[in-house]
Structure formats: structure tokens, C-alpha cells
Amino acid sequence: MTVPAILLIDDEPLAGPLEKGASVRALSPLDSAFGTRLARAIADTDLILLDHNLHLQQELGLTAADGASLVSHMRSWARANDVPLPPIAIYTSEDDAFSDETPVLGPAVPLDGSFVGRQARVAPALDVEWLISKAADNATAQAIALAEDSLKLRQVAGDGRMSLKEIVRYLKLPQEAPWSGIAFANIARWRPPISESGGTRAGARGTTATLRWLLHQVLPCPGLLLSDQYAAWSLGIELDSFTQLHPSECKLAELLRACRYEGPGRALFPQRWWAAGIDFVGWQLRESSHDLGGFQQALDSFAGRRIEPISPPEKVVVVNSDLEEEGLAPIDEAIEIFPPGWPTEALRPWMRRDEVANDASAMTMVDPTEVEHL
């Protein structure tokens, strides 16, 4: 089995735990030959793990002062030398290091706290693919999983460029599923970074652009893939009933298992589901409800036991100003929001009206014509 290669850049590197699932090469930026060794190592690297606090000279100048600033140096070098960079992840124990950073996704206000749980929002602002907290219990597992996803990406691409079919294969779309054709079309609508056209060069981003698209847009924003909450809402059942179906043996659970997302990035996010698959299951439930005399009867028939539908059904999934899901709310108590950076292909998020009215940053995401009605 081929193991991924991780390049650890740290002035005090501890590669031990990472070596259980990857080939690790450690470099210190304090090494006099750092630049030369870094340039040689990049070609055979699947993931660059970059410590943020590198104990470099903290003064305004042309040299890097910390991990985040070193990223721009590597990007510039890659462009000048036409070398595709592998994914870069900031790997640090300073969870609050970017509290003053304004995320690309969400309100234009600083994080004002830890980046943990907000990686998809702040990573684009730092021009990296991901951030990993060294203090996290699964920090090593995250790094190895990310490196494995990068290795698989290079293997699928072959020539360093990505076609739509290769992206679909990389996402592990179930080809035999009756809804796979719809999911294929949905992937295309999400505008993946297709680089294999007209004999174009791979460029300094290379195949990494595909992983970035997946981590920064597809997995955090519902539409192509869905969280448990959105999947349950799409089916019209309560979240508790939905989650209890996962380990059970019934027709509904079997249909859902075929919709589970098994592609890259799943180690960095909670469980995701193919939206096209969930829609197909919902269609089967609705068709059955006509024959059995109602939606509740169809649910009970598919599940083999009592399943709770959403009551009343006129509810929507609501999020907070950090774009974190907070359950359901009656639609007349919620309002659509328009977060900066939100993909146009994604489902439009909603917030509770009372929360928006008491949150200045949330107010900036509301249609101006709706403000007076809050």
C-alpha cells in the first residue's frame, strides 16, 4: 500500500505520530539550506504541514515572519518555477492566532476567537487548503487523511490536470445508483476547477484546486452534499429519527446507506450525504404515500417502525451568524440570509428573525428591503 508523503515545516518538528500513517520529512526554517531542501522536497510531497509560530524575526521586511507569511513566499516561488504546490495546511497550537483575520465565507468581521470549526471560512483568506489544531484529539488523523486525499487526487489526475469525469471519480460518486446521472449534472453545476481542456498547463495550483473547491465550498455549504440536519429536513423527518436510522436494518436505512458520501474530505467534516440520493429517497417516500394513504404510513412502512415527521412541516434549517446549523424553525419565524462568499449553487441559508434583529453582523447578510420587517 502506498502511503502519502508529508512535509513538516517546523522549527521544533515532532514527526513521530504522523509516521504511523505517512512518510514524513521534517524541515526547519532555521536551517541554512532550508530553501534548497524545500524546493527539492515539494515534488514528492502530498501535503505540506506548516507550523505558524516559526520563531522567525518579527519585523516588517522581505522575509517571512511566520507560517502564514511563508505561504505567500512558496506560492510566488511555485509560480516563477511553474511547480504545482501540494495542499498546504497550517498546523499550529495557536488556535487564536488568526482571531483578527476576516473570513472569506460569512460576515466581514474578524473571527474573534479560535479557527477550530471555522477552517473552511478562514483558510481561503490565508491562501491555504486547511488548518489543523495540534491540540485536537484527532490532529494526526486529520493530517494523514488530508495527505491521503491529496495522494488519491494525484493518482486520479495522472497528468496533473483534472477533467470533469476525473473529478466525479475522485468524489466517489456511486455509478450504479439510479440517481447518479442527476448527481453528475449537479457536480458540473457546482463549477469544479476543470483544468484538462485545450492542452492547458497544470499551473502552480495544479490538482490542489480540486481539493480546495471541495473543502472550502462543497463540504461546508449544503447543496451538492447535505449534513444530517439538511438530509432529515429534505426527507421531512425529525433529525433524531433520521440519526437513529443509520445503524438499523430496514428499507429506509438501506436506501440511505447508498446515499452516504464516501469521498475525500470526510475526515474533516461530519457525515455528508449526496443530495441527489436523498431527493431520490424522498421521491420514493412520496410515491409510496399515495398508495398507502399518507406520508406517515409510508415512513412507517419503509422504516418498519414509527418515524417522526417534521411537525408542522413548514420549517426550514436555520444557522447562526457563524453559519453553524442550529436546527429547525417555522418559516414565518425565519429569514433568508445572503452571506458573503456563499456559493450561488448552494441552498440559501436561513436565520431566526429574532437572532438577526439582535446581531449587527447578521443584519448585514439580510436583503435591505427585509430589514424594516424584522
Q: Are 263 and 171 a contacting pair, CB within 8 Å?
A: yes
Q: How many CB atoms within 10 Å of residue 347? A: 18
Separation CA 324–CA 352 (nearest Å):
12
Separation CA 33–CA 36 (nearest Å):
6
> DSSP code of 237?
B
Residue 334 lies in domain? 312-374
* Domain end point (choices 218, 239, 265): 218
SS3 163: coil
SS3 272: coil
Q: How far is CA 274 from CA 28, 103, 183, 190, 234, in A?
A: 42, 27, 7, 13, 12
Indicate if 16 and 116 belong to the same structural domain.
yes
Residue 242, all three cell numbers: 433520521
List the one residue out of 334, 236, 217, 348 whose CA is nearest residue 282.
236
Indicate if 137 and 194 belong to the same structural domain.
no
Residue 60's pLDDT is 42
342: left (phi over 0), alpha (psi -120 to 50) or beta: beta
112: in domain: yes
Indicate if 128 and 80 belong to the same structural domain.
yes
| Regions of the chain where pLDDT drops below 50 | 58-61
Q: How many CB atoms within 10 Å of residue 96? A: 12
Indicate if 169 and 114 belong to the same structural domain.
no
Indicate if 100 and 179 belong to the same structural domain.
no
Residue with the three cell numbers 504546490? 85
Indicate if 52 and 16 belong to the same structural domain.
yes
* Domain end point (choices 152, 170, 194): 152
Indicate if 123 and 169 belong to the same structural domain.
no
The structural domain count of the chain equals 3
Indicate if 138 and 180 belong to the same structural domain.
no
Backbone phi, psi, residue 9, to 5°? -105, 110
**pLDDT tens track for 279-315:** 999 999 999 988 888 899 999 899 888 888 998 889 9
284: in domain: no
Separation CA 268–CA 89 (nearest Å):
12
Helix extents (H) in the chain: 34-42, 67-81, 119-126, 139-157, 164-170, 180-189, 208-213, 228-235, 239-245, 251-257, 275-292, 295-303, 353-357, 360-363, 368-371
SS3 258: coil
Residue 1's pLDDT is 61
Indicate if 148 and 163 belong to the same structural domain.
no
Q: How far is CA 340 from CA 185, 216, 362, in A?
A: 25, 13, 11
Distance of CA 78 to the CA centre of its chain: 25
Indicate if 13 and 126 belong to the same structural domain.
yes
Domain of 89: which CATH number? 3.40.50.2300
Q: Are 318 and 329 a contacting pair, CB within 8 Å?
A: yes
201: in domain: yes
Separation CA 36–CA 101 (nearest Å):
31
* Domain end point (choices 218, 235, 256): 218
266: in domain: no
